[in-house]
Amino acid sequence: MIRCVDTNANPYYWMWGVNRWLSTRFNLLSSAVVGLTGLVAVMSPSISASLAGFALAFSSNITHNLLFLVRRFVGLEQSMVALERVKEYSELKREPPEFVEPRPDSAWPENGHIKCEDLVIRYAPELPNVLHQLNFEVHPGEKIGILGRTGSGKSTLALSFFRFVEATEGKIVIDGIDISKIGLTDLRSKITIIPQDPTILSGTVRSTLDVFDEYQDAEIFEALRRVHLIPSEDAPEETPDTVNVNVFRNLDSSVSEGGENFSTG
Ligand SMILES: Nc1ncnc2c1ncn2[C@@H]1O[C@H](COP(=O)(O)OP(=O)(O)OP(=O)(O)O)[C@@H](O)[C@H]1O
Ligand SMILES: [Mg+2]
């Protein structure tokens, strides 16, 4: 928290530092102007005392006004940047809707039958196609590998299943449903990806495994048992020493940012 406050205060620190430096410079300028006016007043015998007084009073004010002019101008520039951002965001193309009625069955996809029909993908209208008329079918329960040289579009194909890039032509059908016809939340909550670079957020073991807080502790332990991160129930009794060593026994064990206290390999 304190680190966040520091980060937030950092730009203000520098901004006010520069501001103070600017006003020091203006004060020096002000002294020079007042000094010069005084000198002129003293040197010219034709100037009356009242006129000299006026000239001195105004000359000390002018730099003050200049300083404010500079500050207001900088303020205006900053506000213009903010305006520019608001304009930019308000013109961004909207993502497709989160839910589209009728929503797919809650059990979808039951079998995992995937069919790709004439799939053409490109990242932007002005860029060349990355996938050209791709046709393939994966039957339920099949395990497939996709091979290709670097840049051939393997990751692009994976992204297109989640509609991070939309199909330009063709479609992907999973268990009879064309994925471009359903809402993004429905689609992305039903399929899973294990990316090349593992990502772990800071928090506890519980919040890492169950990000949306949907499962009971018993279900989380069951999952940990199935991947052998904790011993199964019929394993021999553990001594208190080994229990303490296994951080997965306690769902409140902390996970540091980027999973630094775990091996993500
Ligand atoms: N965000 C992007 N914007 C524009 N073009 C992209 C983008 N990401 C990838 N590409 C282009 O799409 C093509 C396929 O890239 P992709 O990352 O799918 O290849 P890959 O087969 O996964 O490669 P690798 O084996 O290196 O992971 C490449 O020519 C790449 O330049
Ligand atoms: Mg890749």
Residue 243 pLDDT > 60: no
> Is the pLDDT confidence value at 240 over 60?
no
What pLDDT score does 212 carry? 82
Taking residues 88-112, what's their average pLDDT?
88
Instruction: Report which secondary-structure segment, H or E, holds 173.
Output: strand 169-174
Confidence check: pLDDT of 132 > 70: yes
Residue of 215 and 83 predicted with greater confidence: 83
Q: Is the pLDDT of residue 263 over 80?
A: no
CA distances from 9 to 4, 5, 156, 183, 201 (A): 9, 6, 40, 41, 25
Question: Ligand 1: distance of its center to the CA of 213 in Å?
Answer: 34
Q: Which of 234, 233, 230, 210 is nearest to 220 (CA)?
A: 210
Alpha carbon nearest to ligand 1 atom 25, residue: 150
Q: Is 154 in the pocket of ligand 1 (CB under 6 A)?
A: yes
Averaged pLDDT for residues 196-224: 83
User: Three-state SS for 131?
Assistant: strand
Query: How far, in Å, CA of 29 to CA of 24, rounded?
Result: 9
Q: Would you identify the CATH topology of the domain 114-190?
A: Rossmann fold (3.40.50)
Would you say the CB of residue 58 lies under 6 angstroms from ligand 1? no
Q: How far apart are CA 6 and CA 19, in angstroms?
A: 20
Are 243 and 231 contacting, i.e. CB atoms less than 8 angstroms apart? no
Please say if the pLDDT value at position 264 is more than 70.
no
Residue located via tokens 């205060």: 9
Pocket mutation for ligand 1, best pick of 119, 155, 160 (most atoms within 8 Å of C-beta): 155
Residue 122 Cα to ligand 1 midpoint, Å, equals: 10
Per-residue pLDDT at 81: 96
Residue nearest (by alpha carbon) to ligand 1 atom 16: 153
Distance between CA atoms of 194 and 200, rounded to whole angstroms? 12
Contact 209, 200 (CB under 8 A): no
> Exposed, middle or buried: residue 114 (CB in 10 Å: 0-12, 13-18, 19+)?
buried
Q: What is the mean pLDDT of the chain?
A: 86
- The mean per-residue pLDDT over the stretch 97-102 comes to 88
When pLDDT is averaged across residues 174-196 and rounded to a whole number, the result is 89
**pLDDT tens digits for 217-233?**
888 888 888 888 887 76
* Average of per-residue pLDDT across 133-150: 92
**pLDDT at residue 123 in the model:** 93
What per-residue confidence (pLDDT) applies to 239? 52
Is residue 200's pLDDT more than 80?
Answer: no
Domain range list for the chain: 2-90, 114-190, 203-259
pLDDT of the residue at 67: 84
- Contact between 156 and 165 under an 8 Å Cβ cutoff? The reply is yes
Question: pLDDT tens digits for 25-69?
Answer: 988 988 999 999 999 999 988 889 999 999 888 888 888 888 889
Distance 261 CA to ligand 2 centre (A): 27
19 backbone dihedrals φ, ψ, rounded to 5°: -60, -45
